[in-house]
Chain A
Amino acid sequence: MQTTTPHLSAPGDAPSRTRLPSRRIAAVGALALSALALTALPAGAQTGGTVNLVAYSTPKPAYSVLATDFAKTKTGAGVTVSPSFGPSGTQATSVVNGLPADLVNFSLEPDMAKVVKAGLVSSSWDKGSTKGMVTDSIVSFVVRPGNPKHITTWADLVKSGVQVITPNVFSSGSAKWNIMAAYGAEIEQGKTPAQAQLYLSKLLHNAVAQPSSASAALQTFLSGQGDVLLDYEDDALYAKSKGEPVDIITPPQTILIQNPIAVTKTASPAAKAFLAYLLSPAGQTVWGQQGYRPVLPSVAAKFKFPRPKTLFTIDHLGGWTSVNTKFFDPQTGIVAKVEQSLGVSTASG
């Protein structure tokens, strides 16, 4: 009985009909040789390349413009930018866990430190002329059109009846900038650390939502919740440019947000070229047009960003390394303790 399934041959069987005819071998061999020949062609640095970009979520629209503009330049001709956007902390963790990356751009320095610690980015990433930063921004207040509740200062945020939206500090980088802006603003106004901490407690008491990320927070605010949202200025400007009903208020004291960028140790030449473009006057001008404050002073002078009365950096408050542990450790940090004291006193049924 003939079967169509191949069966194990036993001694005495007719010769198997499964041997490849020599013509087929020749054809396969020719194909293999031509494939080898193609790969042996020199890969011209000027004629393409891929940049695996891993960035935080906010600059997604900016990067689509930047990538297009870069492709028009000499060094960028034929380069494909393959981006991945997400919450800054999550992206850093993904890169450490193996997500392919040539260029990494995070919201704040601790996330870059994670990747440096894992040995994927050189520890001299911040020794360049811009200290490793690609863009600046500030923490702004986002309010309803016309600012009906007249929120203009940090003191207005803690008035009773004002509903604040700020992301959850344990999952969002933007939230950390917001908290440090609030804390720093109090210190700059002459308050003691204890008073500044009390301010944080009042601020979080007024928080009606603590979404998991900056974009979720913007969504929540636009859905109608809250009177004021604490957000990056560039994120707010983008929302406004898209016609969302928001007004942007610059607080009198606020923190300078500095976003780090670096190439990984295994970066392609195309990635290095892209980074050079992002830090060049041409690239910085595009950043400025997208609502980000350029780090190059010559380009920054061309834009008229609002100037807060007092602008401080994270270094004024001790630098990210110490701040991250002191404020944001989920078990022993200041914010965790503030939340607990709020929770214990306000946890009702």
Chain B
Amino acid sequence: MTDVGVTVGDLGLPGGQPAPAGSGPERRRWHRHPPTAPRPALAAAGRMAARIGGPALAVTYLSLLVLLPLAALVTNAFSGGWAAFWRAITQPEAVAALELTLGISAAVAAVNSVAGLAIAWVLVRDDFRGKTLVSAVIDLPFALPTIVAGLTLLALYGPNSPFHVDLAGTRLGIACALAFVTLPFCVRSVQPVLAELDAETEEAAASLGASRRQVMGRVILPSLLPAVLAGAGLAFARAVGEYGSIVLISGNIPFKTEVASSWIFSLSQSDALPAASAVSVVLVAIALLVLIVIGWARRRFNVPETV
């Protein structure tokens, strides 16, 4: 089943394909005809502008918000030359911080993918009292300022924990904090896809003699795999850059619990901005690579609709 997709033609933008006659409710036109007769040249120019305008607007916005800052980051990283860049990224603290961050983020993304799938399953397929509340609560980590999340986690899992677990200063503590902030991604990316799944396919498989486990493994999970991977990718990307929620519970010990974002912050505070940019570039590059691989995997495992 493909993601729910909207093609440009459906939007009814001038210059796109007009809706085929009789294809449903009247599509609303986006531009209004002026009361006087349109000048042909002006109208044609207007259509061309709209055809370029849409993508141009998107690219401009993307550039201003994402690409320009990234370009500035890369420029800053290499402002001391290749030698300075190499020294900054091979410094033992940087290597240790990057290894720690990438390792823990990958593990958390993997664990939360499974947990997110299970939670989405329960929310979609089961009915119980308080389901709406549970569903709303899942999005809470999005709304909570990360430093508040960090304080809460320290109070819950730190030395004064009411459960008598002390995760402060440990990597498990970091993992718990990251799991908390990335869970909504894993749940919300799977939930709509699961809800849209056609029950007929499962029923057909069951009527042909497939066991529950076979239905699960051969019919349902493959359909959900792209969504699960999407959630994992988002969770990984968020975990890699997380700072506020882990900075208190981690203890920030170099080589043990200092994550990349913390080391980058320390560098930036010590007037070593090019070095901070250098480590950031490496982090962003690796995160980008992982996201590209996940995107490829999603397309590769996309189950086309055959029914």
Q: How many B residues face the partner with a CB closer than 8 A?
A: 36
Q: Does B96 contact A (CB under 8 A)?
A: yes
Interface-side segment among A179-187, A287-295, A336-344:
A336-344
**Residue B93 contacts which of A172, A209, A223, A339 (CB distance < 8 angstroms)?**
A339
Residues in A neighbouring B119, C-beta threshold 8 A: none
Decide if A224 is an interface residue (CB 8 Å cutoff). yes
User: Is A223 a contact partner of B154 (Cβ separation < 8 A)?
Assistant: yes
On chain B, the residues within 8 Å of A168 by CB distance are 252, 254, 262, 266
Q: Is the CB–CB distance between B168 and A343 below 8 Å? A: no
Nearest residue in B to A208 (C-beta to C-beta)? Answer: B169
Q: Complex formed: what's the CA distance from A1 to B158 in Å? A: 72
Query: Residue B270 at the A interface, CB < 8 A?
Result: yes
Q: Is A207 interfacial (CB-CB < 8 Å)?
A: yes
Q: Smallest CB–CB gap between A117 and chain B, Å?
A: 10
B230 within 8 A of A: no
Interfacial chain A residues near B266, Cβ < 8 Å: 168, 170-171, 212, 330
Give a binary string over B250-271; 1 marks a CB under 8 Å from any A CB, 0 the rest: 0111111010001001110111
Taking a contact as CB atoms closer than 8 A, the residue among A2, A223, A328, A344 that contacts B168 in the complex is A223
Q: Is B2 an interface residue (CB 8 A)?
A: no
- Is B252 in contact with A209, judged by CB distance below 8 angstroms? yes
Q: A329 contacts the other chain (Cβ, under 8 Å)? A: yes
Residues in A neighbouring B258, C-beta threshold 8 A:
210
Residues of A within 8 A of B270 (CB): 89, 170-171, 328-330
Contact A331 B248 (CB under 8 A): no
Q: Bound state CA distance, A89 and B273, in angstroms?
A: 13
Contact B265 A171 (CB under 8 A): yes
Instruction: Tell me the bound Cα distance from A168 to B97 in angstroms.
Output: 14
Which listed residue, A2, A171, A208, touches B269 by the CB 8 Å rule? Answer: A171
A211 to B160 CA separation, bound complex (whole angstroms): 18
Pick the residue among B34, B256, B262 that contacts A346 (CB under 8 A): B256
Are A225 and B168 in touch, CB under 8 angstroms?
A: yes
- Asked if B81 CB lies within 8 Å of chain A CBs, one says no
Instruction: Tell me if B91 is interfacial: C-beta within 8 Å of chain A.
Output: yes
Distance between Cα atoms of A343 and B254 in the complex (Å): 7
CB distance from A211 to the nearest CB of B (A): 6
Chain A hits for B93, CB < 8 A: 330, 336, 339-340, 343
- State which residues 82-115 of A face B: CB under 8 Å: 87, 89-90, 93, 114
Could you say which residues of chain B place their CB within 8 Å of the CB of A208?
169, 251, 253
B272 in contact (CB, < 8 A):
yes
Contact with A along B150-176 (1 / 0, CB 8 A): 010011001110000000110000000
Chain A residues lying within 8 Å of B262, measured Cβ to Cβ, are: 168, 212
Tell me the complex Cα distance, A331–B266, Å.
12
Would B265 and A212 count as touching, CB distance under 8 A?
yes
Provide a sorted-by-A list of 7 A–B residue pairs whose CB atoms are within 8 angstroms. A168-B266, A207-B253, A211-B247, A223-B168, A225-B168, A331-B87, A342-B254
**Which positions in B face A, CB cutoff 8 Å?**
32, 34-36, 87-88, 91-93, 96, 151, 154-155, 158-160, 168-169, 247-248, 251-256, 258, 262, 265-267, 269-272, 275
